[in-house]
A and B are shown apart, each in its own frame.
Chain A
């Protein structure tokens, strides 16, 4: 009874993983063809939520939480806010694609083809283990081994804040002068 239940749950996990992956791919493909930026933002948000589901199914729950917290609720809410702020109806709404449509798609297909070829024939060389890691192992590695990179990201954030302020200030000064 328990064994069949476990097998059923494992099957359910695989099926959910497949469904989430397919939905994320569909959302990403929709981003290329939808017209209004708000629709594109909604497609991107759904893709990110499905990716969060995939992370949860893979067992890295903290990354799933941060995917939803940082990407969906911080970055994308900011994005949606700016789309509402800049509701300028212009030519980029009527004509979605630039003149780079054909070379861009061709280059993208070439890149994906080359990557897919390498992945298809080289994936066996990646050593796979079933050893998973939890939050404790991650936190220990993060704060003992990678503390320098952690500090570097704080420097990067401060630089981003200063740069954003400089952009706004510079444009104001130009307006006045």
Chain B
């Protein structure tokens, strides 16, 4: 059941990143995807009785903190220049 929940959280987060327009909401949906992966790691660690999954969850916490620490300044700079949180306003950024 927990693996199903982890899968649902990851899927909902992925759909949210694709579907929503607001930059901050997209960031939060990415956090939701990380949470789903964390839940699956903890479930696997419990099922196999090894500590490797828990160690990986710790590393994921650090990655999430680093991701937010970089993403928020980028969003701040973008909003400072265009005064909007709409992702469609930044289509000139694609390659």
Report chain A residues within 8 Å CB of B10: 115
B95 in contact (CB, < 8 A): no
Which A residues, 24 to 81, have Cβ-Cβ distances below 8 Å to chain B? 24-25, 28-29, 31-32, 37, 40-41, 44, 47-48, 51, 54-55, 58-60, 62-63, 66-67, 70-71, 74-76, 78-79
A interface residues, tally (CB under 8 Å): 84
Q: Does the CB pair B19–A101 fall under 8 Å?
A: yes
Residue of A with least CB distance to B29:
A31
Identify the closest chain A residue to B83 (Cβ): A88
A167 at the B interface (CB under 8 A): yes
B1-22 contact mask (Cβ, 8 Å, vs A): 1 or 0: 1111101111111111011111
- Chain B residues within an 8 Å CB radius of A51: 35, 38-39
Contacts A100-B19, A131-B49, A133-B54 hold; do A44 and B28 have CB atoms under 8 A apart? Answer: yes
A-facing mask of B56-74, CB < 8 A → 1, else 0? 0111011111111110111
Q: Residue B55 contacts which of A28, A31, A47, A142 (CB distance < 8 angstroms)?
A: A142
Asked whether, in the complex, the Cβ of A60 is within 8 Å of the Cβ of B46, the reply is: yes
What are 10 pairs between A and B in contact, CB < 8 Å? A31-B32, A70-B65, A82-B24, A95-B21, A104-B18, A105-B19, A107-B15, A111-B11, A156-B63, A163-B70
Besides A60-B54, A98-B18, A129-B47, 6 new A-B residue pairs in contact (Cβ under 8 A), listed by A number: A29-B12, A32-B16, A63-B57, A88-B79, A96-B20, A104-B18
| Nearest 8 CB-CB pairings of A with B | A131-B49, A104-B18, A108-B15, A160-B66, A141-B51, A112-B11, A92-B86, A92-B22
Residues on B lying within 8 angstroms of A by beta carbon are: 1-5, 7-16, 18-25, 27-29, 31-32, 35, 38-39, 42-52, 54-55, 57-59, 61-70, 72-77, 79-81, 83-88
Which positions in A face B, CB cutoff 8 Å?
17-18, 21, 24-25, 28-29, 31-32, 37, 40-41, 44, 47-48, 51, 54-55, 58-60, 62-63, 66-67, 70-71, 74-76, 78-79, 82-83, 85-86, 88, 90-93, 95-98, 100-101, 103-105, 107-108, 111-112, 115-116, 119, 123, 126-133, 137-138, 141-142, 146, 149, 153, 156-157, 159-161, 163-164, 167-168, 170-171
